[in-house]
A = this chain, B = another copy of it.
């Protein structure tokens, strides 16, 4: 029985290389996938430090691992094309998810700066960075707790806004349901969301836009 089917042609066909969700996979399975990869490019997500350390040393040397975002890249780095997307992050605790999105975009060749710790409890922090944010052609917003930043920011800018609720929070916010609901119920029109903590998915959604519409966006007022 073959235990996995990797889409090796995906990058040639769609422009995005294959990604492996390491959560739920054993160390042996990850080793087997990397052995089959040869020198083809792969993005590994949810590869935490403990599981990374359990890989063989030779395997680890082939990976560029970032413990905070639990991502690793395998194979030649993509040439950085040009700026475009940006990431806005409500709190310091949301940074791991924000970095998962940034690293996923970088793996595909897009540089995405992170604007951090600009939650709505102190709006002055957000307004101080608003011009910078308005320069992004696609904005990924990462927030936990009640997720109020999603709607507030979507009301302030015209570009596509992709919400990533995080599992940061306690009490009714435990697990990220409160932030997710905040994104879905927002009255700011045109806000879209992905699953809780899914920074990788938000990056893929941004890539669908950036790769479908490759020409420069018009100047944003």
Q: Which residue, of A137, A170, A217, has the highest number of chain B Cβ atoms within 10 A? A: A170
With a cutoff of 8 Å between Cβ atoms, the chain B residues found around residue A174 in the complex are: 175
The quantity of this chain's copies bound in the complex is 8
User: Distance in Å from the Cβ of A37 to the closest Cβ of chain B?
Assistant: 15
Which residues of chain A from 147 to 179 have any CB-CB distance to chain B below 8 Å in the complex?
147-148, 151-152, 154-156, 158-162, 165, 167-179
Q: B4 contacts A209, CB within 8 Å?
A: no
A24 in complex: contacting residue of B93, B178, B188, B195, CB < 8 Å: B93
Q: A195 contacts B170, CB within 8 Å?
A: yes
Q: Nearest B residue to A22 by beta-carbon distance?
A: B93
A119 to B4, CA, bound (A): 10
Given A23-B93, A120-B155, A178-B182, 20 other A-B residues pairs in contact with their CB atoms under 8 A: A1-B113, A1-B114, A24-B91, A24-B168, A120-B152, A121-B151, A145-B187, A146-B147, A146-B183, A158-B211, A158-B212, A160-B209, A170-B197, A170-B198, A171-B195, A185-B195, A190-B205, A190-B207, A212-B217, A214-B218
A residues lining the B interface (CB < 8 Å): 1-5, 7, 13-16, 19, 21, 23-25, 29, 46, 91-93, 95, 113-114, 116-123, 125, 137-138, 144-148, 151-152, 154-156, 158-162, 165, 167-198, 200-202, 204-205, 207-209, 211-218, 220-221
